[in-house]
Structure 1
């Protein structure tokens, strides 16, 4: 972590306060998968084992081949991660090579996304979208009804104007008769629609799961090497302790924490990294951040900010040095020069665009050191570790080696922000198999 400012203070080193939820979801190992149905269900996220594919046509096993030794790699994780309000079922697959000669080389970790168009869910999304538009139209008509005679007769929404949503007009009446509608009627209609949404939630989830069943019977994938038994990959929100209070001059204005929609703190993503020749502050911050939940195997934060492992070339490209004014060359022109601070700002040259749609690639998730522990069977028991034991286990993984095993510190995965499904001639496909970009920071 960068050194704290001298003006920072707190009433107590153990100041009590509620933890702050961030925008990051943590993937944690949650016991072996024993059900054959769940093993064949692509909606069941997992660590190790064999993949359960979404595309109707099974992808070639060459997708898992290491680009260095050309041998098939073991599945590290499979994550069920459909984009919000997308008609596509979506899963992310990450393979890694454990051969010692392939470590520290590009191509020894590969990530793919599988998409499949879900027709029934797409129809449900259209219905929900239409209902949302109807609700918005109903609210607008209610507001017009309150205005009464104050409504502008020359407005495009004046009488004689028909609703652009025919179904909404049939349910809520012609907009021309909006003045006769009461607020109670509006509330009743909205309440009924909300109840309908709640009732369909369970069936909607069932629909998602039912549409993702797959099988690997009589497939070369079934005979591929794998980490067994596969483990459930469950998710939990990340919580950080509150920051200590800062001492500020009287009357000074203090900016609020950056908060995204939903009330989650994202200010941590804007914390700068200071340059230092004495210690690797990037690694220190990584260790401290991971130490709050040492069991994390995955960090998922779509379109968010990755947590860099060390100050290597990848860090330099993702967190470039900001431009600064040149130092004065004449003695009278003394000036105060503040330390340079780095923030996440990858260039297009670093994150190559999606080869299919040429769209921007954004950070989606990263694999954490504890995943190596899990795959090696280091934490096969259910013992809960203390904070110090977790820190020691992570550091041992980072600095330790083995005759055969992975040696990375973290693997960052960047995906097409459009989640595109177009083919070579620009036509949308119902089944998609696309490789995504992986940047690996190796251990220290």
Structure 2
């Protein structure tokens, strides 16, 4: 007898689903940096090389000093990453010690952010914000006038009260209304991008194309170069361009529903500009049988083996293994309550862990909390290991995959540098503060942020 047909799946289940874009930006190497103008430009993101500083006063060389062995460290990554709607130009600098004895220890990898006020962009930003506030106030007044004009007269003694589109007159933009104009597209989260993709490139339709050109709004070359400074003699790797690309993952498998079961679609608004965040919100199984954390890490990284940096401001990090850092960022859930009054079979679900950081120290300058910004990936070690970049460009996909696997498991050998870790998580000030010692607003600053290093397995 032939098996009954499987009617639980629709015809659309057999279709090939497209990949899903997440809210994570991936930093990948993009060739050696050879142009002198790019080397000295703080708005050019890079892997290795020497830093190009934003602050007019060059920071001390001790900023790169390993806090374990007190030796100067090599620059691992410099990223151009201004915050959205911020008048400050911003770059993130991450140094890492190459001594084998320092690997995986606190203080062996250090991150600093450099800020400098961009007066031209600040004026343009203030103008845009004023126009936005004026437009919102005008719309609110128009809605309020329309509401008063069309509001029906009410009998105070009547038991029935006619419904109104907005009983409190707060404006339809608060609760949403089909009669109001479509709101503007949600702002795209500012991520670590190259110079030509920075939020300071925003166009102003009302500005004069002559005097306020895009070139004038771009960050100028770094005021301080490394040519006549102690940074020139600091140890360094060859410099590679750091390009960014969106992360795409295969769609999650569609669950098979029982006959007659109702299936509801998830809400379209995910709060991340239409990008999928279900992977980030997925909880970790709290099991002692195997390291599900490392298993998930290798699976996620396997979709794009070339990634050297993962950037998701105020997002969720991708932990490397279930070590103490994971325990701190993903604390165990409370144990379920078991019945004690009557014998019964109780099915206890596997405990799940969700991202809930509580032990990250706040910003010492403004006392705001620090949020996850980015993390360094094992393939960064492979890229920096290739001195001239030629070997890296000749690797096949299979060779690159095996190299990443060796780095993930900590079996790769780095004779020249000895650098070895699983991932480095960077947490930065949520408000991106720029204040002086007295707490007053400053035009530029140089601040160290928190780095958590998960050692290689």
8 Å contact from structure 2 (residues 56, 223) kept in 1: no
Indicate yes or no: 2:316 matched with 1:313: no
Identify which range, 242-251 or 85-94, moves more after superposition: 242-251
Identify which range, 137-146 or 8-17, moves more after superposition: 8-17
Residue number among 252, 270, 277 corresponding to 1:266 in the alignment: 277
Q: Deviations over 1:178-222 (max 9, x none)?
A: xxxxx9xxxxxxxxx974379699934642222655412310001
Indicate yes or no: 2:225 matched with 1:220: no
8 Å contact from structure 1 (residues 28, 298) kept in 2: yes
| Count of residue pairs brought into register by the alignment | 394
Q: Deviations over 1:125-145 (max 9, x none)?
A: 111112222333454466578
Match of 2:31 in 1: 31
8 Å contact from structure 2 (residues 42, 221) kept in 1: no
Instruction: State how far apart, in whole Å, the 1-side matches of 2:215 and 2:247 are.
Output: 24
Identify which range, 259-268 or 25-34, moves more after superposition: 259-268
Indicate yes or no: 2:220 matched with 1:210: yes
Match of 2:442 in 1: 429
**How much does 1:113 deviate?**
0.4
Structure 2-normalised TM-score? 0.79
Match of 2:4 in 1: none
Residue number among 340, 363, 381 corresponding to 2:351 in the alignment: 340
Match of 1:136 in 2: 136
Match of 2:414 in 1: 402
Match of 2:78 in 1: 78
**How much does 1:263 deviate?**
1.0
8 Å contact from structure 1 (residues 118, 211) kept in 2: no
Match of 1:241 in 2: 250
Instruction: State how far apart, in whole Å, the 2-side matches of 1:51 and 1:96 are.
Output: 13
**How much does 1:431 deviate?**
1.4
**How much does 1:334 deviate?**
3.2
Instruction: State how far apart, in whole Å, the 2-side matches of 1:243 and 1:20 are.
Output: 9
8 Å contact from structure 2 (residues 73, 97) kept in 1: yes
Instruction: State how far apart, in whole Å, the 2-side matches of 1:326 and 1:150 are.
Output: 56
Identify which range, 87-96 or 331-340, moves more after superposition: 331-340
Indicate yes or no: 2:110 matched with 1:110: yes
8 Å contact from structure 2 (residues 50, 75) kept in 1: yes
Instruction: State how far apart, in whole Å, the 1-side matches of 2:210 and 2:9 are.
Output: 51
After superposition, the Cα gap between the structure-2 partners of 1:194 and 1:225, relative to the gap in structure 1 and judged at 3 Å, is closer
8 Å contact from structure 1 (residues 27, 235) kept in 2: yes
8 Å contact from structure 1 (residues 42, 214) kept in 2: no
Residue number among 227, 232, 237 corresponding to 2:241 in the alignment: 232
Match of 2:374 in 1: 365
Structure 2: runs of 5 or more not aligned? 1-7, 153-179, 181-202
Q: Deviations over 1:322-355 (max 9, x none)?
A: 01224345661432211001111111xx201111
Root-mean-square deviation (CA), in Å?
2.9
Structure 1-normalised TM-score? 0.81
Structure 1: runs of 5 or more not aligned? 1-7, 153-182, 184-192
After superposition, the Cα gap between the structure-2 partners of 1:13 and 1:367, relative to the gap in structure 1 and judged at 3 Å, is farther
Q: Deviations over 1:109-138 (max 9, x none)?
A: 000000111111111111111222233345
After superposition, the Cα gap between the structure-2 partners of 1:208 and 1:405, relative to the gap in structure 1 and judged at 3 Å, is same
Instruction: State how far apart, in whole Å, the 1-side matches of 2:77 and 2:115 are.
Output: 17
Instruction: State how far apart, in whole Å, the 2-side matches of 1:384 and 1:256 are.
Output: 41
